[in-house]
Structure 1
Amino acid sequence: MHAYAAPLPIISMTSLDSDEGLAQLRHAASDVGFFYLVDHGLSNEAQQDYLALSKQFFHLSSEEKQSVDMIHSPHFRGYNSVGNEMTAGRLDAREQFDWMNEELALAPEQLQYPWQKLIGPNLWPDAMPILKPTLLTLQRKLSDITVNVLQKLCESLGVDRNALDATLGEQPYTHAKLIRYPAQQSTQQGVGAHKDPGYLTLVMQDSQSGLKVERGDEWVDVEPIPGALVVNIGELLELASDGFLKATNHKVESPVQGVERYSIAFFMAAQLSATVPVLALPPELKTRATGPSIDPANPLLTDVGNNVLKGRLRSHPHVTRKHYCDEPLRHLLDKSFAYMPTAEICDDCRV
């Protein structure tokens, strides 16, 4: 594994019981914001099986995929065809299937905050009954890995390993995607440059490269390493560490010359109802914590639900128009995002 000239640090899960391993983890998460994770318990064979299942889903007929189109879900779950998601204001050239925690939706009269509309069931295709149990099992496995990494990150920062557990509740908020990047005539935005909004992201890649990470003034290729998961720090963890840990810009370029790329992305965050605390770092780390980065066009919010909803509304304007423009939801949105710079999505809706 270590024979690879890796563009990112390689962290072994089994090394994190040692001070040296924790120091390596702390360096990777604060200096780069991205690393490869190995020895995490999910074999390369199992990952390939999940990616093969993903390919099977995308090979369903257009009609079968449209039956679970995200336009049917006010909770932003389901299928998106190419050109139905935006990043950094531009359309992405990727096809995907999103699922989150499997929950019951709240009745409209129960909604006190607009982010509560994110809570609800997933959409599952009748044509592929194996998808639901398999992806919910994968969700549990990846959730366990991220909680473990989060606790080890807290240890590496010299705070209690359970310092952020209260924000997770019984289980963290999770959001996952099956992703297909179809081949393009020339290099295009598979997904535009962005930072992830949660605590941690795991990415499972096939053999095709395309993921790029910003390091200094250049974009570094994150070549797939068999069996390794790519981990990156999200905005909530940058907030919690007062900027010591870095959420890093990354993007995916579309494959060309008849090649497709498949990946599975898993995003773990605090419960939507949580407010992220700022950890009390030891003095030697606190002096190096420069505060979270500031982007006036995309402000970080410590209330998790609004931070997540902000991203969803901007990424999927077609779903926003259908499910988030009616009263009284519009009133709740105006109240929640009144202090933010706003961009018109449709008529009087602003996020």
Structure 2
Amino acid sequence: MTASPSPLPVIDLSRFDGDAAQRTALLNEVRAAAFGPGFFYLVGHGIADDLIRAVLAASRQFFALPEADKLAIEMVNSPHFRGYTRAGLELTRGQQDWREQLDIGTEHEATDLNRDAPAWARLQGPNQWPAALPELKPLLLRYQSEVTALAIKVLRVFAVALGQPEQVFEPIYAPAPHQLLKLIRYPGRAAGSSDQGVGAHKDSGFVTILLQDVVAGLQVETEQGWIDAPPLPGSFVVNIGELLELASNGALRANVHRVVSPPADTDRLSVAFFLGARLDATVPVLTLPSELAAHSRGVTQDPRNPLFREVGRNYLKGRLRSHPDVARKHHADLLNEFDRTPELVAAGD
């Protein structure tokens, strides 16, 4: 996998709360990024450096735990797709992703998996936390809360950039948006082996807020080919998810991206947060001003990966296809409805 070093734009979010000229400049930059690569670096975000450092350090501590401690909270034990996944057990386009990870969703009480309830209701439930690292839970829930507020602010920026009221998406995410936080470690791989850290995919939510450590690997597909998105100190990488593509009729496009495995003598660490709508929501189609509607490209039509406006159905599809071990153990009755043919699926960075 090769890519050019073309940089993504760097956008200062603090200008959204500035004067009229600052806000206008910000919105113009966001539109240019959205109509172009669909990705940008975000600075001026307001998340404290000490919290970021603590989350990265705790991620290192988690992945350094003995294998038995991590496997005690393995995702296959959770019908809600929460917990630890070993390298090679998640698939993208039917191929193994070479990363280990911990998935943390919205804290939710255990629910009875009533077969008469909507299938997406099975996604709601408790997280799994490592007994050997009790400090991880309060730290990650604090970070999840703060990055959720940040992601909602970014969502409001996108709304205004589309000529809409700031709160236009609130009816489908309030009072509690769907949250997914992933701690991800990409082990190094020897030259000559597959370099798929995670294969080419799109993200399924509104927006993704990605924290990278110091090792590069993220690549973004553009009309000119693949470009690198190496770590930029003090920033997050933001990208558009499928919900915004659906709502804007493709004016905002969920872009394809991937992660290349690092060299054998190192590893790569990232923390990805995905902001989604409520699972019971249906994504509306916005009426855009004529000058912006001209950018509408329609929703991506991929027969291998259909997009549903029903949020829970769309998200469940991705989970079942990405984690076939969990699907077989807990949701075998859904596999005919959600055929798991290899395709672009939401996976994370």
TM over 0.5: yes
The 10-residue stretch of structure 1 (65-74 or 282-291) with the greater mean CA deviation from structure 2: 282-291
Q: 1:110 Cα deviation (Å)?
A: 6.8
| Distance in 2, Cα, partners of 1:110 & 1:255 | 43
Instruction: Report 1:7-86 matches (<5 A).
Output: 7-17=7-17, 18-86=23-91
Query: For residue 248 of structure 1, what is the aligned residue in structure 2?
Result: 255
| Distance in 2, Cα, partners of 1:299 & 1:108 | 26
Alignment pair present for 1:181 and 2:183: no
Aligned equivalent of 1:282, options 289, 305, 308: 289
Amino acid at match of 1:241: S
Assess, with a 3 A threshold, how the Cα gap between structure 1 residues 229 and 240 changes in structure 2: closer, same or farther.
same
The 10-residue stretch of structure 1 (206-215 or 186-195) with the greater mean CA deviation from structure 2: 186-195
Superposed CA deviations along residues 232-277 of structure 1, whole A, max 9, x for unmatched, are 0001101101100111100000001401110001111100000001
| Distance in 2, Cα, partners of 1:256 & 1:286 | 44
1:278 is paired with a residue of what secondary structure?
Answer: coil
1:177 is paired with a residue of what secondary structure?
Answer: strand
- Contact 2:320 2:340 (C-alpha < 8 Å) held by counterparts: no
Aligned equivalent of 2:160, options 155, 158, 174: 155
Q: 1:199 Cα deviation (Å)?
A: 0.5
- Contact 1:47 1:227 (C-alpha < 8 Å) held by counterparts: no
Consecutive unaligned residues in structure 2, runs of 5 or more: 18-22, 343-349
Q: 1:6 Cα deviation (Å)?
A: 6.8
- Contact 2:92 2:199 (C-alpha < 8 Å) held by counterparts: yes
RMSD of aligned residue pairs (Cα, Å)? 1.6
| Distance in 2, Cα, partners of 1:104 & 1:210 | 36
Q: 1:180 Cα deviation (Å)?
A: 0.5
Query: For residue 318 of structure 1, what is the aligned residue in structure 2?
Result: 325
Alignment pair present for 1:134 and 2:139: yes
- Contact 2:94 2:341 (C-alpha < 8 Å) held by counterparts: no
Assess, with a 3 A threshold, how the Cα gap between structure 1 residues 181 and 343 changes in structure 2: closer, same or farther.
closer
- Contact 2:212 2:270 (C-alpha < 8 Å) held by counterparts: yes
Aligned equivalent of 2:242, options 224, 235, 248: 235
Superposed CA deviations along residues 37-83 of structure 1, whole A, max 9, x for unmatched, are 00101134432221111010000001100110001100000001111
Q: 1:106 Cα deviation (Å)?
A: 2.2
2:36 is paired with a residue of what secondary structure?
Answer: helix
| Distance in 1, Cα, partners of 2:115 & 2:96 | 34
Q: What is the percentage of aligned positions where both structures have the same residue?
A: 46
| Distance in 2, Cα, partners of 1:292 & 1:344 | 20
| Distance in 2, Cα, partners of 1:71 & 1:109 | 19
Q: 1:223 Cα deviation (Å)?
A: 1.2
Aligned equivalent of 2:225, options 218, 223, 233: 218
Aligned equivalent of 2:307, options 300, 307, 315: 300
Assess, with a 3 A threshold, how the Cα gap between structure 1 residues 209 and 123 changes in structure 2: closer, same or farther.
same
Consecutive unaligned residues in structure 1, runs of 5 or more: 346-351
- Contact 1:43 1:227 (C-alpha < 8 Å) held by counterparts: no
Superposed CA deviations along residues 163-183 of structure 1, whole A, max 9, x for unmatched, are 110100212101111000111
Q: 1:344 Cα deviation (Å)?
A: 6.6
Query: For residue 94 of structure 1, what is the aligned residue in structure 2?
Result: 99
- Contact 2:251 2:298 (C-alpha < 8 Å) held by counterparts: yes
| Distance in 2, Cα, partners of 1:109 & 1:204 | 37
Query: For residue 124 of structure 2, what is the aligned residue in structure 1?
Result: 119
| Distance in 2, Cα, partners of 1:123 & 1:104 | 12
- Contact 2:187 2:264 (C-alpha < 8 Å) held by counterparts: no
Amino acid at match of 1:172: P
Which of structure 1's runs of 4+ aligned residues deviate more than 4 A?
none
| Distance in 2, Cα, partners of 1:189 & 1:145 | 30
| Distance in 1, Cα, partners of 2:52 & 2:329 | 35
| Distance in 1, Cα, partners of 2:146 & 2:55 | 12
- Contact 1:211 1:251 (C-alpha < 8 Å) held by counterparts: yes
Assess, with a 3 A threshold, how the Cα gap between structure 1 residues 165 and 9 changes in structure 2: closer, same or farther.
same
